[in-house]
């Protein structure tokens, strides 16, 4: 009888165990989980803290009892795998101070990540928490219940932003501290402005470009101090500065590691030791866009990798193809999402690319409550291949990023995007969906019929006297504010006023969303002027969604 | 100077005109539109009738004035193109009883569809309307305003269902008459049950399998009679029995027609006459799934085809790749959507296929207000290629059908679907999105590790004594109702009670959503029993979303 041991029982480990059982009814399958809970929805912890998810039990997806009754899988909680002997095919397991040896036929490593606690003074105080386990969430919610607390969240990544949002919605005075210039540093910095504005609107105090230097208080948290000396009063500190993969077991066992430092795995999630599989945050696996090995520590990958590892360890066959960094965050009314490579990542990967912005509405403009979103495509020059996309807006951002994720997966070009046959009825979309509009704008750039500049490029060109910016909006729109140095020639007057233009100048045209300026740019180009338009318009310039 | 004439100025014609101008600033471009309005959102008409879109002006996307000022395109309203002379490159245009001849360099036909009015007695009464033009919507809304009217909508296609929904929401007593057994006959019949239930819940009286035989009333509508003799009192009749492409011009001009009776076009939307292009509902063009020429009379295609025709007629280059019949309808709280081939269409096309159902929730089950949807995939045997998909549910149906539309476009297999890296955060999705769940279920069918039967197959097998149905839900769920003839063995008791089973029998397992029965099916199969599970569970059986 095959004996399959699994180190770690949250997303990847739980998926692996269940799939192993579905593959092999005879195997003995044991999960060793260091914590007090197995198979819980760690992505749901902020929503429990915020009160949207009322019961912690709701986050327990499969209990120990259910693993036993339904899957005949034994779960040993508070059991930590502390050593692997790949030659002898045994592991050492620590539990309550006692270490025992267990032998395996197949071992699946799914130890996940542990939250990073920066070694600052005061980090050991009792009201300093992380958001990683059920126990963490219980402690935080317990301290907040019925008490008026001020909270400092340290770190503006996914967990920090989600937790700050959830705390603010609960009415807790919250400060979010981030050492970098912007929150959500795995997004392109130009896309996160609406998130930062929304956090402020929710009442979150943002402290950017300021690292944490210490936590003050004797016996209990009284405040934090930042590197610039700022002091912030606080009753609780939530550390969300990052998650570090738990690699000690793998390293001691001599498993080969990948370029991002995770366990190197093949498409069956097999490691360099044939009887050891790995899944989830601790692995390096294929990045579908770059074709390189990379870590992609997100829930979707963990589940897919776990399923693959479980099937293969139990004698079945399944392959995992890779990930592309798709992610989404809700912040109040704002949703921001990404897939594939961001602009900087694409350039770092050595890809020759351009970016294109579009500002479009989530559904037919005539149907009530149409809302703007900004899509940014990262596109390979010449081929037009879609390398990645980011989106920020309100309703319907999740839909567009998932369509774009499917497009990236399928290695579509922007010439494919503009052809997609997407579902249209007025409450859901427009006859030209935002994805199609984004595809058309970018495809026309590759074709050479849409000469566009980005906001970043415009800011450079503004320093150059040979460029003149023309605002082609109506004069009432222009009077409400626009780009410095622009002159206003409404598009509907452009033909008759074209004589005012100077053929020795270069023109940059903009409007609110980028469509009228595209029309104006086509007109001037066809008339022989040097003209380009601002990609995504004034909305993209100001990131106004 | 090139002269481009366009017959028809709604979706395809307006797109063609604007793109032609962007391609060629010198050309003279004239749109001849038979009606009183140009470039209006005909898909929005039901929502104006229902009051959700408050102003008819909101539906006028580009006015005659704007065409002139912004695009230098002349629009001649109430001008009908009545004849084409392809040899002489002229057309005859009728306006107010006067016919004039106009010459063209390039002609774009975009005459669209006209509503079918069945030749029944009373069809000429003043309160008999169609929902095709701004004028129609004005008349209907005008008659309804401030009056208590009973309305009969004849025809349960997209327009009939949307109009009935909008009337019911406005509080108008509405009866929907459909000659076929179900509404929305371009969906698989098993998928529309939630739509029909929702229509009834909205107060719409459904009269299925009953054709219209006549409209009664002298001088004004007083009621309708159906083929079975039923009489229904009514003050207004809305005819939504279908739209017929306006083909007379093309036929008289001798343009080659396609197999579906539309104008045969190439990927540049050129017809058999090189100087005549066609776009929109009157064309046959490529079906992306079957690879055959077909009509796809929907707004998305009209816009894309118009854009292509406009570019190519004006001397540019653009190609149109085809469509796949993606469509979506909102009916109260219910959304139903489709892409690619339905089950019957796939079989008619000679494709060897199977179908797979999944019942999944739109986002994480622990996040509040998770709602079920049912996805049905049509999958090619052996290859696993996704041929089409249909979805019915509430929130998030639009997202999943668009992802599936991208998948069909990219010729993905279900082995791709289960690998997609879609965006997960609890408010938006689950770690395993409904699309992934659908992909996994279908991929496992191809792999042979998910033996499943559909509801239709189950109904046949129920007649066969060698089959035993087992309900693997908890006993409290079983007691609330289940499938006739089923015995209840809760999945968590299945291992210990497996001795109760008879190895000479064949077992069909079901649960509520199809997941527990899949687990049970795996278990029994691995233990050597003949077992299959009901695809999509009892929810798919009852179409309960």
- Nearest to residue A133, comparing CAs of A30, A48, A248, A6? A48
User: Are B300 and A527 a contacting pair at CB < 8 A?
Assistant: no
Please give the average per-residue pLDDT across B392-414, as a whole number.
Answer: 98
Residue where the block lists tokens 């040097």: A530
Residue of A nearest to B321 (CA): A419
- Residue B86 CA to residue B271 CA, distance in Å, equals 11
Please give the average per-residue pLDDT across A357-361, as a whole number.
Answer: 98
Residue B153: pLDDT above 90? yes
Rg (C-alpha) for chain A, rounded Å, is: 26
Residue of B nearest to A411 (CA): B410
What are the tokens at A357? 């912005």
Would you give the DSSP letter of residue A340?
E
Handedness of CA A33, A39, A43, A47 (dihedral sign): negative
Q: Å from B77 to nearest chain A CA? A: 21
Residue of B nearest to A59 (CA): B366
As assigned by CATH, the class of the B333-447 domain is alpha beta
User: Are A70 and B492 a contacting pair at CB < 8 A?
Assistant: yes
Find the CB nearest B22 among A326, A427, A522.
A522
CATH number for the region B3-112+244-313 comes to 3.50.50.60
Q: Å from B405 to nearest chain A CA? A: 6
Q: What is each CA distance from A188 to A363, A387, B134, in whole angstroms? A: 25, 14, 44
User: Are A299 and B431 a contacting pair at CB < 8 A?
Assistant: yes
- Residue B349 CA to residue B291 CA, distance in Å, equals 10
| Mean model confidence pLDDT for chain A | 97
Residue of B nearest to A302 (CA): B431
- Nearest to residue B163, comparing CAs of B222, B240, B58, B242? B240
Please give the average per-residue pLDDT across A71-95, as a whole number.
Answer: 98
List B283's β-bridge partners, or say none: B263
As assigned by CATH, the class of the A452-542 domain is alpha beta
Please give the average per-residue pLDDT across A157-180, as a whole number.
Answer: 97
List B83's β-bridge partners, or say none: B92
**Phi and psi at residue A165, in whole multiples of 5°?**
-60, -50
List A453's β-bridge partners, or say none: A534
User: Are B24 and A526 a contacting pair at CB < 8 A?
Assistant: yes
- Residue B465 CA to residue B502 CA, distance in Å, equals 13
Query: Which residues in B lie closer than 8 A to residue A474 (C-beta atoms)?
Result: none
Q: Among B43, B166, B312, B511, which one carries the catalytic annotation?
A: B43
Those residues with Cβ within 8 angstroms of residue B503's Cβ, 6 or more apart along the chain or in another chain: B528, B529
Query: A4: pLDDT confidence band, cut at 50, 70 and 90?
Result: very high
Candidates B42, B366, B373, B415: best to mutate against A (most CBs of A within 10 A) is B366
Q: Å from B288 to nearest chain A CA? A: 10
Find the CB nearest A44 among B330, B410, B426.
B426
Provide the pLDDT for residue B285: 93
Q: What is the 3-state secondary structure (H, E, C) of A292-316?
A: CEECCCCHHHHHHHHHHHHHHHCCC
Please give the average per-residue pLDDT across A137-142, as a whole number.
Answer: 96
Q: Å from B55 to nearest chain A CA? A: 9
**pLDDT tens readout for residues A305-328:** 999 999 999 999 999 999 999 999
- Decide if A373 contacts A360 (C-beta within 8 A): yes
Q: Å from B302 to nearest chain A CA? A: 9
Percentage of the residues of chain B whose pLDDT score is greater than 70: 100
Provide the pLDDT for residue B143: 96
Residue A110: pLDDT above 90? yes
Please give the average per-residue pLDDT across A498-514, as a whole number.
Answer: 97
Indicate the domain borders of chain A: 3-113+244-313, 128-241, 333-447, 452-542
Residue of A nearest to B25 (CA): A526
Residue of B nearest to A66 (CA): B492
Question: Half-sphere exposure (CA, 13 Å, Cβ side) for B326?
Answer: 32
Find the CB nearest B421 among A11, A339, A424.
A339
Please give the average per-residue pLDDT across B309-335, as a whole number.
Answer: 97
Yes or no: domain B128-241 corresponds to CATH 3.30.565.10: no
Please give the average per-residue pLDDT across B146-170, as a whole number.
Answer: 96
- Residue A420 CA to residue B301 CA, distance in Å, equals 10
CATH number for the region A3-113+244-313 comes to 3.50.50.60
Provide the pLDDT for residue A45: 96
Provide the pLDDT for residue A70: 97
**pLDDT tens readout for residues B476-499:** 999 999 999 999 999 999 999 999
Residue B146: pLDDT above 90? no
What are the tokens at A186? 């795995």
Size of interface A-B (CB pairs under 8 A): 250
Q: Is there a shared CATH topology between the A3-113+244-313 domain and the A452-542 domain?
A: no
What is the length of chain A? Answer: 545
Query: A147: pLDDT confidence band, cut at 50, 70 and 90?
Result: confident
Query: Which residues in B lie closer than 8 A to residue A311 (C-beta atoms)?
Result: none
Q: Å from A307 to nearest chain B CA? A: 11
Q: Quick check: pTM over 0.80? A: yes
Please give the average per-residue pLDDT across B15-41, as a whole number.
Answer: 97
Q: Write out the H or E segment, with its range, that includes residue B21.
A: helix B11-23
Provide the pLDDT for residue A426: 97
Candidates B169, B426, B497, B524: best to mutate against A (most CBs of A within 10 A) is B426
Give one word for A409, left, alpha or beta, with left for phi > 0 and alpha for psi -120 to 50. alpha
A28-33/A74-77 β-pairing:
parallel
User: Are B421 and A431 a contacting pair at CB < 8 A?
Assistant: no
Query: B147: pLDDT confidence band, cut at 50, 70 and 90?
Result: confident
- Residue A452 CA to residue A457 CA, distance in Å, equals 10
ipTM of the complex: 0.97
Find the CB nearest B303 among A337, A431, A449.
A431
Residue of B nearest to A407 (CA): B406
The answer to whether A353 is a known catalytic residue is no
Candidates B58, B308, B332, B423: best to mutate against A (most CBs of A within 10 A) is B423
Find the CB nearest A431 among B25, B299, B329.
B299
Please give the average per-residue pLDDT across A168-185, as a whole number.
Answer: 97
What is the length of chain B? Answer: 545
Q: Å from B149 to nearest chain A CA? A: 25
Candidates A364, A366, A385: best to mutate against B (most CBs of B within 10 A) is A366
Q: Among A43, A113, A480, A511, which one carries the catalytic annotation?
A: A43
User: Are B409 and A431 a contacting pair at CB < 8 A?
Assistant: no
| Mean model confidence pLDDT for chain B | 97
């Amino acid at each position: 009888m095959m004996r399959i041991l699994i180190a770690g029982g949250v997303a990847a480990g739980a998926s692996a165990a269940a799939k192993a059982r579905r593959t092999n009814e005879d195997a003995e399958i044991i999960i060793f989980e260091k914590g007090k809970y197995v198979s819980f929805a760690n992505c749901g912890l902020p929503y429990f803290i915020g009160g949207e998810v009322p019961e912690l039990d709701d986050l327990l997806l499969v209990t120990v009892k259910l693993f036993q009754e339904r899957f005949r899988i034994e779960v040993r909680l508070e059991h930590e795998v502390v050593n692997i002997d790949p030659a002898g095919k045994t592991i050492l397991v620590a539990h309550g101070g006692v270490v025992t040896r267990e032998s395996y036929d197949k071992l699946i490593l799914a130890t996940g990540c542990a939250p990073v606690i920066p070694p600052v003074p005061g980090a050991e105080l009792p009201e300093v928490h992380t958001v990683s386990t059920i126990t963490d969430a219980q402690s935080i919610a317990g301290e907040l219940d019925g008490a008026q607390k001020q909270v400092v969240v340290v770190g503006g990544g996914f967990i920090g932003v989600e937790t700050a949002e959830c705390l603010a919605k609960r009415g807790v005075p919250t400060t979010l501290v981030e050492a970098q210039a912007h929150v959500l540093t795995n997004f392109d910095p130009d896309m996160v402005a609406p998130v930062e504005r929304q956090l402020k609107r929710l009442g979150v105090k943002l402290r950017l470009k300021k690292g944490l230097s210490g936590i003050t208080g004797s016996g209990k948290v009284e405040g934090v101090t930042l590197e610039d000396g700022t002091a912030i009063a606080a009753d609780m500190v939530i550390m969300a500065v990052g998650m570090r993969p738990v690699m000690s077991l793998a390293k001691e066992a001599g498993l080969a590691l990948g370029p991002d430092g995770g366990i190197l795995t093949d498409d069956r999630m097999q490691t360099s030791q044939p009887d050891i599989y790995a899944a989830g945050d601790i692995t390096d696996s294929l990045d579908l866009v770059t074709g390189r090995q990379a870590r992609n520590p997100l829930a979707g990958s963990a589940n897919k990798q776990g399923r693959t590892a479980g099937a293969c360890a139990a004698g079945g066959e399944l392959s995992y193809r890779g990930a592309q960094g798709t992610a989404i965050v809700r912040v109040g009314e704002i949703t921001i999402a990404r897939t594939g490579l961001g602009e900087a990542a694409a350039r770092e990967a050595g890809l020759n690319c351009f970016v294109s912005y579009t500002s479009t509405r989530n559904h037919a403009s005539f149907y009530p409550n149409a809302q703007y979103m900004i899509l940014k495509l990262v596109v390979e020059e010449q081929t037009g291949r879609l390398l990645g996309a980011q989106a920020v807006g309100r309703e319907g951002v999740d839909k567009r990023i998932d369509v774009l994720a499917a497009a990236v997966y399928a290695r579509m070009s922007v010439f494919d995007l503009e052809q997609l046959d997407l579902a249209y009825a007025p409450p859901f979309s427009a006859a030209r969906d935002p994805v199609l509009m984004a595809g058309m704008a970018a495809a026309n750039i590759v074709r050479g019929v849409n000469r566009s500049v980005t906001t970043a490029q415009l800011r450079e060109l503004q320093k150059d006297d040979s460029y003149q910016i023309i605002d082609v909006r109506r004069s009432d729109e222009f009077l409400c504010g626009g780009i410095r140095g622009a002159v206003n020639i409404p598009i509907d007057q452009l033909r008759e006023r074209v004589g005012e233009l100077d053929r020795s100048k270069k023109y940059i045209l903009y409007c609110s969303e980028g469509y009228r300026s595209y029309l104006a740019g086509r007109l001037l180009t066809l008339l022989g002027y040097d003209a380009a338009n601002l990609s995504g318009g004034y909305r993209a310039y100001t990131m106004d969604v």
